Amino acid sequence: MEWAFQKTRLKLNKMITTRNLIRHELIGLSVKVVESTNKFQVGIKGTVVDETKNTITIETDKGLKKVQKKGSKFIFEIPDGKKVKVNGDKIAVRPEERVKLKVKKW
């Protein structure tokens, strides 16, 4: 059963590109905080395990860390290995609403 889930997840991840990342599910992606209004959050890196309208929860070597979206910038690694810098202000909406966004340039 777990294999079927992983296979489905791999198919979905292949659709994520550098151009459409902010309209996709972020959970499961590798991420690093590169800028933040909270200096203690800069440098946090790990895997996204949860997401709300205002925060991203990152699983790190030292445990779970919640990072605010607004005022932060992230580098996400998509499944093909490419890295994408994302302004947290652009993704500071509920995940289910973000997939409906029409974004010209981010």
d(CA 52, CA 76): 17
Q: Quote the pTM value.
A: 0.79
Where residue 1 falls among pLDDT bands split at 50, 70, 90?
Answer: very low
Greater pLDDT, 18 or 106: 18
What number is the average pLDDT over the span 49-53?
A: 95
List of domains in the chain = 2-98 (2.30.30.210)
Give the angle 86-92-95 at the CA atoms, nearest 5°. Answer: 95
What is the chain's mean pLDDT, rounded?
85
What average pLDDT score do residues 55-75 get?
96
Kind plus residue range of the DSSP H or E element containing 52: none
- The predicted structure's pLDDT at residue 21: 85
